[in-house]
Structure 1
Amino acid sequence: MPDIALETEPHEEAGLLTDGFHLLIDALKLNEVENVYMVPGIPVTDLGRMMQSEGMRVLSFRHEQHAGYAAAI
Structure 2
Amino acid sequence: MKTQRIKNPSERVKKRLYSIREASEYLGRTVWSIREMIWAGKIACIRDGRRILLDVNDMDLWIERNKTTYSY
Question: What TM-score do you get using the length of structure 2 for normalisation?
Answer: 0.31
Tell which structure's C-alpha radius of gyration is larger. 1
Give the structure with the larger strand fraction.
2
Give the structure with the larger helix fraction.
1
Question: What TM-score do you get using the length of structure 1 for normalisation?
Answer: 0.31
